[in-house]
Structures are given as structure tokens and as C-alpha cells.
Structure 1
């Protein structure tokens, strides 16, 4: 794909200018900081057991073996991918929306096979963030430097509607035959909190919505778009009628865990390390 972002879109140029790979916690591969904890006393057992809890860090695909308590909701999401191409996940801040998608749904689909995944957060420059997430699947032959250049070009083409997102999905499908694409837009409320340009915001929503197949023609190879968004931004989403129409009866709501689920979150990661709790210790919470 050749050509540069048209210069007559000054506002878009200003938003994109300076954006580089790594500016957003976005794409394709997931890396999470893990602190290495070392024994501080000679009294510590020779075989040191790592802490099985992630604390305030959210869970990613590599944490699926210690992610518990959301099995029912994960099964619901998995079922939805078989019949829906748009799955908006709504929940309160801190309810675990990102974790249930990245550490729950993604590993379950990986186990099923025949899926490709990529992930982004809209940030202040949503077209760039989207393009950055897609380029490794769209043009996998490029080195990292060329991917940066092509990301800027693709962002401009998507913004100008020169290339549609559906065109990009078709190319990815050609690159990965017999696979479906799961596109995850995490923390989707950022299009309201970080993207301050209403024109760009609406163009971005139009770009995403236009790529979705209608339910009556949903093909076995259809791309699935999953968004995670704080429920307190639902009013913002409903204020734009095209988005409101698509959201009707489509959202999946993530509520708080019940006692049984909370017990699993506490006990099962420790059990994987062969550690048990004193009787009744986890009952008083």
C-alpha cells in the first residue's frame, strides 16, 4: 500500500503527528511487568514459591492458568463469538472487563483453534491505534520500521475512507485462511476521555460500525469485534444514534462476583502451587 496521509486534513494530521509504536498500551503481543521476588531469609524453603496473585495488574493471555472466578461469563462470551460479530462488554470500573476478555475469552478461543487476535486501546488517536494493531496481521512481511510507516498510511486511509476496515479484514483473512479475526478494543471509553475531536470520534465509530456484517449474513469467517467499556460511559455511546442502534440488545454486562466466585479467586491460584488455607480462613470476607 502506497501514498501518504492527505495533507488537507489538518486536524487529523495534528492528532497523529508524533505517534509511534509504543505510545499506547496496544497491540498484538502482550507484555506485563512481573516483579521478581527473591527469598530474604535463609529460613525460606529451598524451593521458593512465587506469588500466584497479580494484585492490581490486569490479567493477560499468559495468565489464564491463574485466572479464576469468571468461568460462567467466559462461556457466555465464547458462545457469543459463534453468533455475533460485535460484543460490547460493559461493567463498572475495576470489575475485570479487560481481564475476562484477555485472560478468559482469548485463551479459550486459542484452545479451540483457528483464531487470530489483536488488541488496541483507542487513546487520543484512535485511527492510528487501530492501524497499529492491524498492521502485523495485514502486512506481516514488513520489518518494524516499515510497519511504522505503513501504520501511518493505513490510519490516514481509514480516516479518509479511502480504504474500508472491511477491506483490511478481507486482506487479513487472505493472509490467514481458515482463521477468524478477534479484534479487541479495550477501554473503549477512551474515545470520550482522550479523543477530544468529535469529528474524529464519529468517523472512527462509523469506520468500525461499517465493517460489521449484519446478523442475517454473518459468515463463518466473520471478524468479531469485542469492546470493553465502563458502564458509566454508556450515555455517551447512546448519544450517537448509529452507535446506539448497534448497541440495542447487544451488550454483555459484567456484574460483581458472587461469594463462590470470590472464593475461587482466592483459593484456586494458591492450590495450583500446592498451598492450602487454614479451615474457615476464606469464609469471612
Structure 2
């Protein structure tokens, strides 16, 4: 892969001041604000260069002796990351064990004798990934820092669409919006200066065939409309350089022919991902697996998220540690991922995350065959539900089974799924005869049907008496797998199904007991135990789950509603089961009569009636 001198998707830093152009006005505004306040807010849409403006533009206005800047990203917790970054710079060992953030900063100032600039970059991560408790602690820390009147500046860099979230900080930090700078997409005139000055700099050394080429590049990047997204400009210049370098010759030249050859900017990022995934398919593994693996670094909102190496391995344990290592090495070397501190990795920019979120992957294929079992002579189950042993005779729900399988197994962005529907619709049969026989072939699977008898077991009753301890394995694992559940490997993916969840709301009425139960459910899928949770509940109890969403965010969104079979589906169930039992239906009038007898007044086929009716019909 040709190495290029452009920043591509990386931000500019202090070492890049000689090639940082086009933001002189914003840099000067930010520089002046830094003398007027100890709290600055820098915001704008993604890709406008906010981080570069602070880390390169502002930093370049100061002599090294006048500025000691510390950049903080949230990682797993913003408050922990803040303290960790401060401790990294305590080279003199001046910090004491009980030092709070304000004492640490005062100590650093005494050691370095330079004003401290705290840059909280990509601050939106706090609102995407954080908790109210994390926010409250951070606000308390910042309020304390400002009150201490230390030689310290705080700069919060945030995407514009998350700016409104800061209004909750205003009560404790009234001045939070007083000094703020909006970074807008770059004007065409400034973008032209960026192109011309960057290409002519000693660090780059690219020749423009004529002055019009810069305008052509801008037209391609903006598609002839509006201002210039700096992210796309950098990606486009990077692609131009790589293609131009392949032409050979003594120097790299950008001309209109080359620019037109590259094509539209909307294709450049997709092309870049495709190029790297094609190489991945040749050198490492399949393209599908590469795509699925990269999606681990994308939030459900289409933004990039940092992930620890061990959490990557837990999310796709079927790959094994060596494959994960090879994937990391490849995508880091190819400038798709970048390493962070604490063994974390992230996509190099949100624009890649958005492209990945819009790309569909095939995922793990659902096994088509189910294990052979000894089947009864009568294929209908009377009042019972179909179980795994009857999977070969479970007809009419192929589409629902596939949809549920993909939601539970292949939607790696979430670890919980809610299945609901009216009584008698066949939810339990769909789970036990449709989903479970397929999932059990791939992963360890646990099934628990709640009942009054279960509530009398001490190990189950304990779930309502006290919250889980973070350091202990989930008690639910013991319920699912017995004593073995206490020692199951976290590398092994587990699919856990809780059926008839409505029983909880029938037998438990105390809100405190319900909260303990919810906390135990959340403990199962907190990321440490590699569990996927499927909850099954009747329609009329759906409203009871509102409080559960506080503990399992998004549970009400990640759902599948099981609907009544239509007449066509019911006819398929009857025909295929009768064929198995070596019975034939003589003509459509007979089938119509059967369907009429099991259809309710609203026109819906009642599966319970159908099973009971056909069971008795075959038993006579």
C-alpha cells in the first residue's frame, strides 16, 4: 500500500502546524477566548476539524513553555480516564493517594510551571455510552476545578447534535455556554487555500497541473453544493496521491484527468473500505467476517466506539484469540482502526462507522436441519406446546424462525431480545421447536419457563431479595445450568431464554423486589459473561416492562411480535402434519371446514384450538 503524506482521517497535532491551513480566523477566536475564560466549548458537525483546530491550531499559537495540554477521551468511564491521564503526567511522583482532580492539577502546575489545558475530546461519547451517575460525577469535578481558580483551562469538544445534552450541566456550571465556538464546514475559498498551500508545502511536494485543479477537487468533494467537509477532502487527497503515485515519474502530479478518474466523494469511503476488505479476504479471512468484526466498533447510532481487546474477543468468541490478533494487526496497519490506551481500539473516524452501519452482513447462517428424534404417531400436540423433540413437525413458522434467529444471533449490537404476542399464538413453540434446535447446534443454550413452582425454589427466590454483586457470576447461570453455571468460561457464547416472563408480574408486586430481579437480568448481559438474553412475554403484560428498560436500555426496541397464523399458514400446518401421519385431505371444502372450526370471530386462527381439534380428529 503506497504511503501518503496526508493526514487522511487522523486529526492534525502540534507537529503539523506547517501544513495546517484555512482555519486562521477560528484559531484566532479560540486563542482570544482562552484569555477570557477558564471554560471553552468547541462544537460543530462531524468532520469539520474540531479536534485539529484545538490540538494543532490553538496549540500552535503558544510557545511550548506557555502550554501544557492534556487530551482526555472517555474510554470506559470519563472520570476514570480523566484521573488516569493526569497520573500519566505525574513524572515526579508528587501525587498522593487521596488527591482529587483539582489537587492533581495544582501539583502538575507546580511541577511544570505551565498553564494546564484540559481538552475533553469527542465529549459526545459521555452521552452515547455513559450513565447519569457518570455525568453527575464529572459535573461535580468540573465545578470544583472552576471554583479552585487554578491556572487551568477546560476545553470541551463536542459534536453539534449532542450540544443540547449539556443543558443539564447548566444548573451546576452556569457559564458552560458563555464562551463557545462553532466550527462550520469550510468555505470554498478557504478549502482552495488548504489544497494549494498543503500541496506546495515542503512536507507534501505535490504539483498541480494548473490552478483549476483545486476547484475541480472542491467540486468533487462538495458535489457542487455548499461548504467543504474536511474529512472528505482529506480522504479525497489521500486517494488522489495513491493513484498518482502509481503513474510513476519523477514527481507526483494532480491534474483534472486524475481527479475525474477518482470519481465522486460518496464513493471514496466505500471504495476505501472495499479495497481494504478485498485485501483482508486475500490475506486474512472472508470479507463477510471482516465486515461483521468491524461492526463491533460501531454503536447503534452509527458512531464509532472504543472497545477493549478482551471485549472484542468476548463478542465473537468463535473466532479464537489468534484470529482476533490477526484482524487487529491488519485493520490497524491499514488505517481502519487505531490503538488507544488501556488496550483499546476504535475506528479512525465516524465517517467509516456510518458506512459500516449502512452495510449489511450475512452473519451466521441458520442450520436448516434439526437433530432427528423419535416422533409420535400423532403430530398434533393437543394443549401442549411443541418442544425441541418435535422440531421436525413444527410447520408454518419458517419465516418467523429465521427472523428470530437473525435477531438473536447476528444482531451483535445488542445482547437482548424481547418476544411477545397474545395468548395462544404459539410463542413457546416458536422458541422451543423453532429457535432452540437451531441455536443449540451452535452455542450453549439455556431455557427457563417461569412458573409458580419455580418461585418456591430458594435459588430463584433469592433473585428478588438482594441485588447482584458485580464480582460474582450471575445467579441466573446456576438456574440455567446448575452447578456448572458457576464456572462457565466467559469466552463461550451463551444463549439464555426466559419464557412466560408474565409470571413475575403475577406473583411479585413489590417494586423493590422487581428492581432486584431486573438488576439480576442486567447482570447477565453486562458484557463480562458473553450472554445473549431472550425474554418471552404475553401481550397484555408488555406495559409492565417500562421499568426494566432502565436496567436493560433498548429492550423495548429490540423486539419481535409473534402474530396469529393466517389461513394459508394454518393450512400448511394441517397439510404437512397430516402428510406425516399418512392422512390426506380430500378437496378444498374439507380444509375450509377445518379452518372454519378453528377460526375465531375476528378471523384469526387460534393455534390452541387447531392443535386440540386436529389431535382429537386423528385420535378417533
TM over 0.5: yes
Q: Any idea what SS the aligned residue of 1:282 has?
A: helix
- Aligned with residue 257 of structure 1, among 173, 183, 186: 186
Query: In the alignment, is the contact (CA less than 8 A) between 1:120 and 1:184 conserved in 2?
Result: yes
Q: How does 1:214-233 map to 2 (within 5 A)?
A: 222-233=151-162
2:92 is the counterpart of 1:141: yes
- Aligned with residue 267 of structure 1, among 184, 190, 196: 196
Query: In the alignment, is the contact (CA less than 8 A) between 1:114 and 1:180 conserved in 2?
Result: yes
- The unaligned stretches of length 5 or more in structure 1 are 1-34, 38-50, 158-162
Q: Distance in 2 between matches of 1:263 and 1:209?
A: 42
* TM superposition score normalised by structure 2: 0.32
2:118 is the counterpart of 1:186: no
- Displacement, 1:229? 0.2
1:75 equivalent in structure 2:
28
Higher relative contact order (CA 8 A, sep 6+): 1
- Displacement, 1:239? 2.9
Query: In the alignment, is the contact (CA less than 8 A) between 1:182 and 1:224 conserved in 2?
Result: yes
2:71 equivalent in structure 1:
119
What is the Cα-based RMSD across aligned positions, in Å? 2.5
CA offsets 1:151-173 (integer angstroms, 9 cap, x no match): xx97xx6xxxxx44322221112
2:421 equivalent in structure 1:
none
Query: In the alignment, is the contact (CA less than 8 A) between 2:102 and 2:145 conserved in 1?
Result: yes
* TM superposition score normalised by structure 1: 0.68
CA offsets 1:33-67 (integer angstroms, 9 cap, x no match): xx873xxxxxxxxxxxxx44212222222222211
Q: How does 1:1-285 map to 2 (within 5 A)?
A: 37=3, 51-110=4-63, 113-137=65-89, 139-142=90-93, 163-177=99-113, 179-195=114-130, 197-213=131-147, 222-242=151-171, 245-273=174-202, 274-277=205-208, 278-284=210-216, 285=219
Higher helix share: 2
1:18 equivalent in structure 2:
none
Query: In the alignment, is the contact (CA less than 8 A) between 1:88 and 1:226 conserved in 2?
Result: yes
Query: In the alignment, is the contact (CA less than 8 A) between 1:123 and 1:129 conserved in 2?
Result: yes
Q: Distance in 2 between matches of 1:182 and 1:224?
A: 5
Q: Distance in 2 between matches of 1:91 and 1:124?
A: 24
Structure 2 vs 1, CA of residues 243 and 57 (structure 1 numbering), >3 Å: closer, same or farther? farther
Structure 2 vs 1, CA of residues 123 and 246 (structure 1 numbering), >3 Å: closer, same or farther? farther
- Displacement, 1:244? 6.3
Q: Any idea what SS the aligned residue of 2:6 has?
A: coil
Larger Rg: 2
Q: Any idea what SS the aligned residue of 2:116 has?
A: strand
- The unaligned stretches of length 5 or more in structure 2 are 220-620
- Displacement, 1:101? 0.7
